[in-house]
Amino acid sequence: MKIFFLALLLSAVIFSGCGGQKRVVVAQKTYPTWYENPPMSSANEMYEVGEGSSKKEAINNALSMMISTLSVSIESTYHSKTVENQGSIADYQKTVSNEIKSDVKKIRISHYDVLKAQDFGFKKYLVLVKVDKKKIFQGLKQELNQKFDLLDKRAKSVQKQNAIKQIYFYKEAKKSIANVPNTLIVMKGLQKSFDENAYLKKVVSIESHYNKLVDNISFSIKASREAKNLQAPIRDGLSMRKLQIKNTQGKMHFKITISSKIEKANAYGFTLARSAISINVKDYKGTIVGSNKLNIIGQSTQGYAIAKENVAIKLQAMIEKEGIEKVLGLEL
């Protein structure tokens, strides 16, 4: 009986406590007017709002949204433009729209103003960001000018070097300016009066110098008796790079010499051809401009001749994987 009364008393205390509790009502927070109705972007300025778990994240989200909006605007501008000029420069202006979007998204907006910022609570920050299109344009233009100024200086310096060094320079220059045509489209979208042809001519000039070197440079191959079977992989590797192979003379011609010392061995039922291969590339003056030493072991269950051929097969695989430049010790 005592247990029953104790349980009844405890229940009464619990229910009386619950009845005395007051419900806490949290007032719903409303977004500020500047967030719900941000200023309209104009021809010169862009406005965007963003939110995030921190102020920095909110700013980054606002800038990302701004860049996405910019990519759509520039894509529309590009499609409405008619390319009238012909030739190499016109080819660079015919860029796929997806590439335009991709290039715009690579823009890093470093000049912006945070007009409004508010800690909204619950780890949420709100911001209103303003960007000046002219500043974005000027930043991209400055980057291009610096890039081409540096390339011009290096081009003048490399003219004194052999054709191998020159072709390597122009190959790397091509890589560094690969996105320039799309960047110019972005700049044109930001400032419609911008004339991109001066920059496109620089791009075309670099392409032209590279192609001219590829068309005129040539190689000849000479191999020792033990390395005769290694000529074909080297020849194929050069051909894949569209480089000419012929016996001639001149400043654009290079001579490749291949020698090999082979040791015959047997192991686990295989015949082995242990090859120590030396490769040298000389210019028209006889100066070594590239060299490499390779150790390749050929193997076969069908005799020594097949094991030696296996050395050539492995050299071919090495060229396909690493490139003829690396195998010859060159920078093409």
CATH assignment at residue 51: 3.10.28.20
Q: Which of residues 174, 196, 213 is at a domain's end?
A: 213
Residue 276 or 241, more confident:
276
User: Is residue 269 situated within a structural domain?
Assistant: yes
Beta bridge partners of 90: none
Whether residue 127 is found in the same domain as residue 161: no
* Pick from 7-16, 67-76, 143-152, 245-254: least confident: 7-16
Whether residue 83 is found in the same domain as residue 104: yes
Whether residue 256 is found in the same domain as residue 287: yes
Q: How far is CA 280 from the centre of its chain?
A: 32
- For 1, residues 6+ apart whose C-beta sits below 8 A from its C-beta are none
Give the whole-number percent of the chain exceeding pLDDT 90: 55
Strands 253-267 and 270-282, bridge-based pairing: antiparallel
Q: Which of residues 213, 245, 277 is at a domain's end?
A: 213
Integer Cα distance of 307 and 311 in angstroms:
7
In this predicted structure, the answer to whether residue 68 has a pLDDT above a threshold of 80 is no
User: Is residue 249 situated within a structural domain?
Assistant: yes
Paired tokens of 164: 């191998």
In this predicted structure, the answer to whether residue 213 has a pLDDT above a threshold of 80 is yes
Q: Residues 195, 187, 208, CA angle at the centre, nearest 5°?
A: 60
User: Is residue 22 situated within a structural domain?
Assistant: no
Whether residue 262 is found in the same domain as residue 284: yes
Whether residue 294 is found in the same domain as residue 323: yes
User: Is residue 9 situated within a structural domain?
Assistant: no
Whether residue 147 is found in the same domain as residue 239: no
User: Which candidate, 198, 197, 187, 202, places its Cα nearest to that of 141?
Assistant: 187
* Pick from 13-22, 100-109, 194-203: least confident: 13-22
Domain that holds residue 106: 33-131
Whether residue 93 is found in the same domain as residue 106: yes
- To the nearest 10°, report the CA torsion of 191, 57, 36, 118: -120
Strands 288-300 and 218-223, bridge-based pairing: unpaired
Q: How far is CA 64 from the centre of its chain?
A: 20
Residue 71 or 54, more confident:
54
Backbone phi, then psi, for 107, in 5-degree steps? -65, 130
Whether residue 202 is found in the same domain as residue 227: no
In this predicted structure, the answer to whether residue 20 has a pLDDT above a threshold of 60 is no
Across the chain, mean pLDDT equals: 84
In this predicted structure, the answer to whether residue 59 has a pLDDT above a threshold of 60 is yes
In order, the DSSP letters of 59-76 are HHHHHHHHHHHHHHHHHH
Whether residue 179 is found in the same domain as residue 223: no
Place of tokens 């076969």: 300
Which pLDDT belongs to residue 239?
Answer: 93
Q: In one letter, which amino acid is 281? A: V
Q: What is the mean pLDDT of residues 88-98?
A: 50
In this predicted structure, the answer to whether residue 120 has a pLDDT above a threshold of 90 is no
User: Is residue 57 situated within a structural domain?
Assistant: yes
Report the sign of the C-alpha dihedral through residues 48, 49, 51, 54, in that order: positive
Which pLDDT belongs to residue 149?
Answer: 97
Residue 84 pLDDT class (50, 70, 90 cuts): very low
Q: In one letter, which amino acid is 112? A: Y
In this predicted structure, the answer to whether residue 27 has a pLDDT above a threshold of 60 is no
Q: How many contiguous H segments (helices) and E segments (strands) does the chain have? A: 12, 8
Number of domains in the chain: 3
Whether residue 148 is found in the same domain as residue 194: yes
